[in-house]
Structure 1
Amino acid sequence: MVEARLTADGAPFAVRDGVYASGPSTLREFVEAVWGYGDRVFLVSEGGTTTYREFFDAACGLARRLSGEYGLRPGDRAVVAMRNRPEWQIAFWAAQLAGLVAVPLNAWWTEDEFAYALDDCAPGVLLVDEERAGR
């Protein structure tokens, strides 16, 4: 099983007692570790599968848009509020790749709870799915 090989003692993502023992310490190290998996399946969802390459292409593309089109700079906040789908992973990692502070919010919060969190963190962008857009 691939997971066992990745999380075994001495492996790149070794886990002890449910915590990474000596995994990548930087985003760059994480990206370099997974580049080698290219066309292997990374995410599985109702809509199908996403390979590592497809995932990183999408995350890098969104990261470029956040920096270029939206003018966000490292340290700006990016709220991620959506269901647990591949788009959540892409949005979260795109924020990381752009140097932004990803602020994941509970997708089931009420409008008042969202309003409080948004006022508190003052995000530069909201990365939300259609269900949350109204709230």
Structure 2
Amino acid sequence: MTSVVAVAVFVTLQMRMDRPPPVVLFGAAVSAALALRYARTFLLLATPWGRRRATKRVGDAPHEHEVSVGEDGITLRADGHSRLEPWDTYAGYIETERQFIVLQGSGGPTLTLPKRAFPDAALVAECRRLLGERLPAR
């Protein structure tokens, strides 16, 4: 909000002066850039569209762990260690065309389950069923 006010002040100064000094033009440019950056951050963090877009990029990264979904929760395996995360650890899930995104309590992405990782379409349907029974869809 401060950046928007600063942009308005600098634009007003530019309009009232015949030849504004370079510092006024520089201040307006910096304030406008900050306002755009804050607006982008707000869209990425505060809207469902932004969270999906952010998790889409996270979901495309290579994974170094193995995930299995079961009746008790989600089991994570990495480097020879296994850890069961019960269902109450998670707050919901989002299903996209290419993956399941499991959300933590704050609404941020915790875990992505790419559908291409499932060797069979029946396993994708089973994962969808378990997630639908245990977590609310978002």
Q: Shared topology, TM-score over 0.5?
A: no
TM-score, length basis structure 1: 0.28
* More helix as a share of residues: 2
Rg comparison, structure with higher value: 2
TM-score, length basis structure 2: 0.28
